[in-house]
Chain A
């Protein structure tokens, strides 16, 4: 028993080689460590694809079932705010990509600047989203809590949808607009939650970056957070046309 323990210790001591402080013992090299964590991050993102995939599938099927209600519901969204938010989010993805580049080049000032810009753009996105959510509250379009079908059974009463010339919906179909708004809040709300988590992690990273944590050659954390941030961007790239744009002429 004691013999085998000694052997194990001896084997460990022999195989132990010089490596940078940020390389964990069980990895052969920094490259292997990077590739492994990168793979793990992608596996996590695949579970996220499945999670949002369920919401997208529900939207696809219900939109086809209750087509007039979903068309009328989407006419309530403001394309201007939606476009602005898409631009804000895409720009934040760019600043995040630049943060990764600055970390790789070991440029601390640039890294902190890019992380701060990403942080601000993320908050800007949530700010615009808040304006939109507030509009829904004012118009009684919060499913389950504060909902009225007035805009849909009597479109003439609603100046926002006058431009679309919507015909009044029968009460049973108008009731289904609540389902549209439920999915609208579920999808944009889960997306916003991902943004809030991302912004919190960005705050932590700004603090760490200022203490030289990511400019020593160890870029794994910044790189993998970048993957998360770009993934959230991709979700919005699909949410924006599906929720705001495709029903404009229907």
Chain B
């Protein structure tokens, strides 16, 4: 406010929040509906895909990351990256060494 050259605080409008909460509730309905359809091995994939879309909406709009500084964006992306990296490395270890010998 006093120094306009700096990053300005962005106020997200209630209409955006209303749209997002609508999308999240529809997403919840879709994921429950999808679980009633037998897709064999694809059920978990579809459920997780919908969950990822919902989480992305929450992070971008409710948590304002879309309107945040580059520092915040980088922090969020590196967090997701490290989390996925740790999961893949753990799974790689289990699959290549102990699988089937528990």
> A interface vs B, CB < 8 Å?
19, 28-32, 34-35, 38-39, 42-43, 45-46, 49-50, 53, 56-57, 60-61, 65, 79, 83, 86-87, 90-91, 93-94, 96-98, 101, 104-105, 217, 223, 226-227, 230-231, 233-234, 237-238, 240-242, 244-246, 248-250
- Given A49-B83, A233-B58, A245-B35, 19 new contacts (CB under 8 A): A32-B6, A35-B7, A39-B71, A39-B75, A42-B75, A60-B87, A90-B24, A90-B25, A97-B20, A98-B14, A98-B17, A101-B13, A227-B63, A230-B58, A241-B48, A242-B44, A242-B48, A245-B31, A246-B35
Whether A230 contacts B63 by the Cβ 8 Å rule is yes
Q: Main SS of chain B's interface residues?
A: helix
The smallest C-beta distance from A154 to any residue of chain B, in angstroms, reads 25
Within 8 A of A (CB), among B4-60: 6-9, 11-14, 17-18, 20-21, 24-25, 28, 31-32, 35-40, 43-44, 47-48, 50-51, 54-55, 58-59
Q: Which 9 A-B pairs have the closest CB atoms?
A: A241-B47, A94-B21, A245-B35, A46-B79, A246-B44, A249-B38, A31-B6, A97-B17, A230-B62
A31 contact set on B, CB distance < 8 A: 1, 3, 6-9
Using Cβ atoms and an 8 Å threshold, which residues of chain B touch A79? 32, 35
Q: Does B96 contact A (CB under 8 A)?
A: no
B17 x A237 contact (CB < 8 A): no
* Interface residue total, chain B, C-beta cutoff 8 A: 56
Determine whether the beta carbon of B9 is less than 8 Å from that of A29: no
B3, B40, B64, B71: the one within 8 Å of A29 (CB): B3
| A83–B55 CB distance below 8 A | no
Chain A nearest CB, measured from B21 CB (Å): 4
A34 CB contact (under 8 Å) in B2, B9, B38: B9
Q: How many residue-residue contacts, CB under 8 A, span A and B?
A: 149
- Contacting residue for B43 out of A61, A86, A101, A249, CB 8 A: A249
Contact pick for B35, options A43, A61, A231, A248, CB 8 Å? A248
Q: Which residues of A contact B55 (CB under 8 A)?
A: 234, 237-238
Give the Cβ gap from A94 to chain B, nearest Cβ, in Å: 4
- A89→B7 CA distance, assembly (Å): 32
- A101 in contact with B51 (CB, 8 Å): no
